[in-house]
Amino acid sequence: MALLEGEHLTKKFGGIVAVDDVSFSIDSGETVGLIGPNGAGKSTLFRLISGVQQPNEGRVVLDGEEITGQSPHEICQRGLVRTHQIVHPFENLTLLENAAVGAQFGSRGSKASEERAHEVLEFVGLEDMAYTTPDELSVGALKRLEIARALATDPEVLLFDEVAGGLDTDETEAIVDLIGDIADRGKTVFLIDHVMRALMSVSDRVLVLDNASLIATGTPEEIQNNQRVIEAYLGENAGDAAGAAGAAGD
């Protein structure tokens, strides 16, 4: 049985359809990428899954139980958490305290929040800065703090929204390695990223949205050779499939 499912999800803003009858299924332990041109509906879909917004139609099912209509806090406690492209740590708190807030917010594990916070900071490589504040961090370290706060909730499913956005090559590689380590621990990962090489390298499967609709699902290789996906990124007169990944990552 799938761990996370979306069934006929639709979201409208007035006359604009942001997500149009999208259905998907993600198995436990799977890493799935979500790609599409700007404005395709990717972040809106994540907001529907995480409870930030409610669908006009359809439902979200987590571990066999419907979570549609629940708040982000309730969904987090059920084991699904989302990171954000633009990070907003608690500036006046230490990294340890930031992570401890995540542990308290999730309240799923038996460990004390401070113990859990130390554990996740060590995992993401920030333990040596546990007692510093976020203003001392690079962009890459801030992204890792965002991941640590999410991990502190003890989730089963993590939604990563543009986790590599704004990073240089070395920082991107470090984040990709970290996502791989998270997946190796049995977590289920659903991620959006415009850095196509990073997303393709870590994903078991890839879903493609275009104009609010799901147009393709497949392995990274299948998606990179899918003519409809190439056209969605490059237009109807697109060149060969290899160009799709490079263009989308620019």
Tell me the per-residue pLDDT of 142-193, one tens digit each, with 9 for 90 and over.
Answer: 999 999 999 999 999 999 999 988 899 999 999 999 999 999 999 999 999 9
Burial degree of 53 (CB within 10 A; 0-12, 13-18, 19+)? middle
Does 106 or 203 have the greater pLDDT score? 203
Say what the pLDDT of residue 235 is. Answer: 67
Say what the pLDDT of residue 107 is. Answer: 58
- Torsion angle (degrees, nearest 10) of CA 27, 28, 34, 40: 70
Say what the pLDDT of residue 241 is. Answer: 38
Q: Does domain 4-249 have CATH number 3.40.50.300?
A: yes
The model's pTM: 0.89
Say what the pLDDT of residue 194 is. Answer: 86
The per-residue pLDDT of the chain, averaged, comes to 91
Question: Which of 82, 80, 59 is CA-nearest to residue 69?
Answer: 59
CA–CA distance from 154 to each of 41, 49, 58, 82, 112 (Å)?
Answer: 28, 18, 27, 12, 12
Tell me the per-residue pLDDT of 63-76, one tens digit each, with 9 for 90 and over.
Answer: 999 999 999 999 99
